[in-house]
Structure 1
């Protein structure tokens, strides 16, 4: 891995086949086994590059660079050309005589050199990204993916061993003497395998070998090649809010999911915080502490299981209640809006858990997933669009000060999320996210009710602060402004 790290940082491309220099081998492995090892190393490097691409993209989008510089840096990032000493990008001339990006297959393309200052900036950005997404270290890998070159699953030819449902023929260091490893029957896997075959899929060409952390116990798992389900054309559109007021998730149709799991998460979070304080008082590090790792693992497992259960429940609904589209927030936790404890809890549970589940549900069930801006979803009214932090007098209660609508705060947020699928703001991440969302909310409110929301009361979205009070605007005289407008 050190060899390929040096090669990549010298500007080399990742080849289709990763090998050691001068075709060297390790530990007496055959050429076929070395090829399998090379495939595993390449998969690790590709995964690492994908993480870096996402990290660098976020850094670019959050920056104050010009639009032209952003465009070039984003294209360099897509090509993974972070360490290139020189690089050319394809462009084409539009009908207006302006250079616009294009692909390599465009015949009329023009190849232009990237400015050295942008290449240098790309190296600085990826260096910053690597502080979080570090270069992979195969020494700490506990799961190996064995391809069909060295491990091939087969069905038993006879029923002599009813407990064995599959045999995995695995090559060894002794040439011509493979071993067969029997896998115990698993009812759930057999049902999944039959369903996969019925949908036109089958067994994937790899086998996973996993070592339990800190032990010499190994587990071998088969992998299915499941065809993607066709996108659903009928069904409801449901908004989901990761609100965590009284439940883990809330839906726009008024359901609260995971209330018991949320109570368990809060209790685990308190235990973890107490234990971390205990470690800090004694000058001990959290890394490597068994109790700290155990509690973190329980939090991750609880969220993973509960989110999976909730999304599966929505996906398995058929008939009139079938779900076609799920609308979720594009979360950016740096913007604030939550308590420090809640931020810590959500971060520890892993925001990627929900993202991964939503991606898998698109493939397995054909449900479409759309993301919308997350800013002010807890303050905006799902009925009239009025946005104020005073609309939420408590963590779980929502009461609009304009139209008088009251409901559970998380359900209101889920309905706001559902309504936002009809609009997208141009820059909904980074330092301008709240400003852009606020301006768009003000424009929509003014267009709908023919009166400005900005500055109406001091705490309204975008209010400068020195404006009329809520009482002066008739918010507490027994008649809501919404009803007054409708009557007029």
Structure 2
């Protein structure tokens, strides 16, 4: 199983200058190579290398490995663009957005990530330093730091390339680690149903609600501030909105990590699997009132689902995905389904058997039941291959 570990670099001012110059040179050369690829239609590494390799090394002073990575990054960007165009993420062919995306070369930001292989980057885990290639020469004894658990995983399981990233004036290395999977539990004692929602981010079939008034109040304050800054639309307001968006995203990621960790730990402790809703396309399917739409789109539910999935795979906990249709309207006792079973957002009251429960708790029981039926019928557990330890 592949995981991605991010560690923070602690460079000196002189080292920062060298890293900035290197990142800018690599991305400028990649942008130039993208223009050449667009004009010559040579968008495969071997083809593009013939047109750009010598010029990149001469003009920007990149080493052989750095030049190769700049060319490969350009080709990967065009491969991703073509896949997004085919998938319709830029609209239909002929639309303005589709034409704008396909009608111009790819451009890289000056501080976009740059890949490093083992020839360009070496790790000294005992001293917590790295030796990294730059256009100004090899930088040695560049300190790095991170959480103890992350550094242990990095030292034991790092494989392949690492990416150098600059975010908000801070420098990071993002390394790929290949971890042996825990043998999955093929005979779980049951499943733990998890319902993802708006008022409560996650509710389990055990009755645990992962949310709270404090989090919802903070989410409302974030939306209010975002709206004010968007209406003001001055240069300082846009700068503040961008800074606040990063802070909001980091907070949401931290909460999702904590929720997913608790859910997986509970399932592992009790010898159960996890049943989740298949939320693909939920934003298009959901019919909500206007105030609820902002709430739905303001939380990264896909991120939470991926965190639960990779933590479960790491712990050997099986996961089942079920169709979420009508789980909030179905009675978990008699399985009668009707819209009128939900008299309010938080209350479920069955019109046939009279069963009353919290609506999200009732839905989590339905998810658990559907997941267990699928497990009994022989469906396979799935989980994503790659995610980020933050």
TM norm structure 1: 0.58
1:179 aligns with 2:157: no
Residue of structure 1 equivalent to 2:378: none
1:36 aligns with 2:69: yes
Residue of structure 1 equivalent to 2:352: 402
Q: Is the contact between residue 36 and residue 150 of structure 1 (CA under 8 Å) also seen in structure 2?
A: no
Q: Separation in 2 of the partners of 1:129 and 1:362?
A: 42
More helix by share: 2
Q: Separation in 1 of the partners of 2:367 and 2:205?
A: 8
1:191 aligns with 2:152: yes
- Report 1:30-179 matches (<5 A): 30-48=63-81, 51=84, 55-56=87-88, 128=98, 137-139=107-109, 141-155=111-125, 164-165=127-128, 167-173=129-135, 178-179=138-139
Q: Is the contact between residue 300 and residue 348 of structure 1 (CA under 8 Å) also seen in structure 2?
A: no
The structure 2 residue matched to 1:241, chosen from 195, 200, 214, is: 195
Residue of structure 1 equivalent to 2:51: 21
What's the CA shift for 1:124?
5.7
Relative distance call for 1:240 and 1:135 in structure 2 (3 A) is farther
Q: Which has the higher contact order (CA 8 A, sep 6+)?
A: 2
CA RMSD of aligned residues (A): 3.9
- Report 1:316-395 matches (<5 A): 316-317=265-266, 321-331=270-280, 332-395=282-345
Q: Could you list the per-position Cα deviations for residues 141-185 of structure 1 after superposition, in whole angstroms to 9, with x for gaps in the alignment?
A: 5433322231122345xxxxxxx32x32223436xx522133245
Residue of structure 2 equivalent to 1:207: 162
Residue of structure 1 equivalent to 2:206: 253
What's the CA shift for 1:349?
2.6
Q: Is the contact between residue 203 and residue 224 of structure 1 (CA under 8 Å) also seen in structure 2?
A: yes
Q: Could you list the per-position Cα deviations for residues 327-375 of structure 1 after superposition, in whole angstroms to 9, with x for gaps in the alignment?
A: 2232422223333223212313334322432443254233333333333
What's the CA shift for 1:27?
0.7
Q: Separation in 2 of the partners of 1:144 and 1:307?
A: 28
Q: Separation in 2 of the partners of 1:205 and 1:409?
A: 47
Q: Which has the larger radius of gyration?
A: 1
What's the CA shift for 1:252?
2.1
The number of residue pairs the alignment matches comes to 337
Relative distance call for 1:222 and 1:271 in structure 2 (3 A) is same
Q: Which runs of 5+ in 1 are unaligned?
A: 60-120, 157-163, 425-488
What's the CA shift for 1:401?
0.9
The structure 2 residue matched to 1:289, chosen from 218, 238, 248, is: 238
1:301 aligns with 2:250: yes
TM norm structure 2: 0.71
